[in-house]
Structure 1
């Protein structure tokens, strides 16, 4: 009883230190109209009427291998044949795309893999990284402070990603390289088109490879529904001081079921169980 009595106070305390940018952006974002898109196309955009079957880690490992190879190779091959990239001695592949490939093809159920996060995080990293690089270059002894500038760039990028709901770990590497790596820093503002091309190609590859047997992305903009009625329901939850329910599958009109059987356990996409929760379910499974 004591813990439940303290819950409202704790919730209000958290809310007073929480900034949700989606509260201001989502009213202007239209809800997806998947029914207007041809079925063969919408399948590779991540829409499903029913959730896909659970796959074993061997299958996931196989598609992760195929996806990471194809994604990184495509970015490198295309970049090598862009004349403006050659003229500016742009690297064929930015190092942060290696980390992006792991997320985009292996941890595809993570919010970090969402297209919104993948694109806008890298744009934030470019803006912050190039700005810091040019600012530090104003100092004649800038080479002595490269590491400090890289740390500042990575830190600021992380802060902005958190506040804009666009956290994508590889962007931290991009921000760091934009200051500490001489070849990347030499690109200056031209780092933007290099990263835009790379992110676009990586996402296009992910949409094809990940939707053969799996589903990607879980959502394009936000896990919360964008329809007017659902926004009204969310406001009711917030005004009542209740936790807002997760909307990974609800936003796509998919059922959410946690199935526990004697020889199998199926957990919905987007649900991550703690060690304690997993132990409880294991004990229940043993009693079936």
Structure 2
């Protein structure tokens, strides 16, 4: 039986999207504003104990869920479309947004797009099943199908967000009365949850780690080969501006005596930063 190269069965949607996605402009904004949008320049996140993380998680989940529920209860259009006080999947989303702020599942691209797609897929599957009386009596199959399709779409679009699976399931089993209005409900709820997360998570932590992708979105700077010394092998060079959120320059972590320099295009956790600081202290003592 011939071997099949499974690595060829791969589609990277960012290959097509990243060239048209603009680089984040946070570095040009006033520092107090950019700080609460997750921009830190060359400052790595501080190491926090789990008691501090637990406190901010408690406060964040409470405020996030409360804000979404309160707004939903006071929007007349929501009541007119028989919307629930809050979609249950927002509870799971809040856990990710406020306790696992460094997880890819919690970043804005995943948190917002996944929920919108899940609600649209769920409602669409539910309406298709409603066209047939026999199929309409099998909501368990429709729910399973919607959840499965949503998962596959999230994998292909790099927007995996576990709570979205619950949204797709609920859209089929309980979203018949709400209809397509559920898409707007989920979008508005996600935006409000993100707004609360930006406020609370950036007091002592950093959120988001990235808005669209951890990869570079900076554009290559075109260079005249004649000006560059007649080297015609390459007509462009990466931009080397230190103000970019993420640059194309090769990442270098510099360890000096009692000092660690981490470029902003390197994503490291607080635990990894603590380890690097210990190594820099060793350099000091060894000298």
Bin the TM-score by the shorter chain. Answer: 0.7 to 0.9
More displaced stretch, 34-43 vs 219-228: 34-43
Deviation per residue, 1:232-279 (Å, 9 max, x gap): xxxxxxxxxxxxxxxxx98279x87699xxxxxxxx855599xxxx9x
1:193 aligns with 2:184: yes
Structure 2 unmatched runs, 5+: 222-243, 256-265, 276-281
Q: What's the counterpart of residue 138 of structure 2?
A: 145
Contact 1:109 1:269 in 2 (8 A): no
Q: 1:206 maps to which residue? A: 197
Tell whether the 8 Å contact from 1:109 to 1:270 is kept in structure 2 after alignment: no
TM-score between the two structures when normalised by the length of structure 1: 0.76
Q: Report the alpha carbon displacement of residue 136 of structure 1 after superposing the two structures with TM.
A: 0.5
Bigger share in helix: 1
Go from structure 1 to structure 2 and tell me whether the alpha carbon gap of 1:55 and 1:271 turns closer, same or farther (over 3 Å shift): closer
SS in 2 for 1:251: coil
Deviations 1:18-52 (A, max 9, x none): 11000000000111122321111100000002012
Structure 1 residue matching 2:100: 3-state secondary structure: coil
- Residue from 111, 120, 124 that aligns with 2:113: 120
Is the contact between residue 177 and residue 185 of structure 1 (CA under 8 Å) also seen in structure 2? Answer: no
The structural deviation recorded for 1:140 is 1.3
Q: Is the 8 A contact 2:24 2:245 kept in 1?
A: no
1:84 is matched with which residue? 77
1:81: Cα distance to partner?
0.3
Q: Residues 104-115 of structure 1 correspond to what in structure 2 (within 5 A)?
A: 104-115=97-108
How do residues 98-247 of structure 1 correspond to structure 2 at under 5 angstroms? 98-181=91-174, 184-229=175-220
Report the count of equivalent residues.
Answer: 240
- Whether the 8 Å CA contact 1:96–1:170 is kept in 2: the answer is yes
Confirm whether residue 51 of structure 1 aligns to residue 44 of structure 2.
Answer: yes
Match of 1:21 in 2: 13
Q: For residues 102-132 of structure 1, what are the alpha-carbon distances to aligned partners after superposition, in whole Å with 9 as ceiling and x for unaligned?
A: 0000011000111011111011101110110
In structure 1, the residue corresponding to 2:180 is in which secondary structure? helix
Work out the CA distance in 1 between the residues paired with 2:48 and 2:211: 23
Q: 1:60 to 1:179 in 2, by over 3 A?
A: same
Larger Rg: 2
How far apart, CA to CA, are the structure 2 residues paired with 1:100 and 1:214? 18
Whether the 8 Å contact between 2:129 and 2:142 is mirrored in structure 1 is yes
C-alpha displacement at 1:101, in angstroms?
Answer: 0.3
CA spacing shift, 1:189–1:14, aligned 2, 3 Å: same
Question: Which range is displaced more, 209-218 or 48-57?
Answer: 48-57
SS in 2 for 1:185: coil
Aligned to 2:231: none
Q: Do the aligned partners of 2:39 and 2:245 also contact (CA within 8 Å) in 1?
A: no
Q: Distance in 1 between matches of 2:189 and 2:207?
A: 18
Q: Which runs of 4+ in 1 moved over 6 A?
A: none
Q: Structure 1: any 5+ residue segments left out of the alignment?
A: 1-9, 231-248, 260-267, 279-284
